[in-house]
Amino acid sequence: MPPAKTVNLDSHAMATLRYIRESMDAAGSVAVPGSAGIAMGAVGLAATALSLIPNLASHWLAIWLVAAPIAALAGASLMTRSASLVSFIGSGKPGRKLLLGLMPSLFAGAVMTAVLWQANYLGAAPGIWLLLYGCALISAGVFTKVIVRWMGGCFVALGLLALVTPAQLQIPLLGLGFGGLHITFGFLIARGAHGH
The string of DSSP codes covering the chain is: --HHHHHHHHHHHHHHHHHHHHHHHHHTS----HHHHHHHHHHHHHHHHHHHSTTTGGGHHHHHHHHHHHHHHHHHHHHTTTS-HHHHHHT-HHHHHHHHHHHHHHHHHHHHHHHHHHTT-GGGHHHHHHHHHHHHHHHHGGGS-HHHHHHHHHHHHHHHHHTTS-GGGHHHHHIIIIIIIHHHHHHHHHHHHTT-
Its pTM stands at 0.78
pLDDT at residue 195 tops 60: no
Q: Give how many domains the chain has, as a whole number.
A: 1
Mean pLDDT for all residues in the chain: 84
CB 51 within 8 A of CB 172: no
Q: Domain range holding 147?
A: 31-193
Query: Is there a domain that residue 18 lies in?
Result: no
pLDDT at residue 148 tops 60: yes
- Low-confidence winner among 13-17, 22-26, 34-38, 166-170 (lowest mean pLDDT): 22-26
Give the pLDDT score at 16. Answer: 65
Query: Is there a domain that residue 39 lies in?
Result: yes
Query: Is there a domain that residue 17 lies in?
Result: no
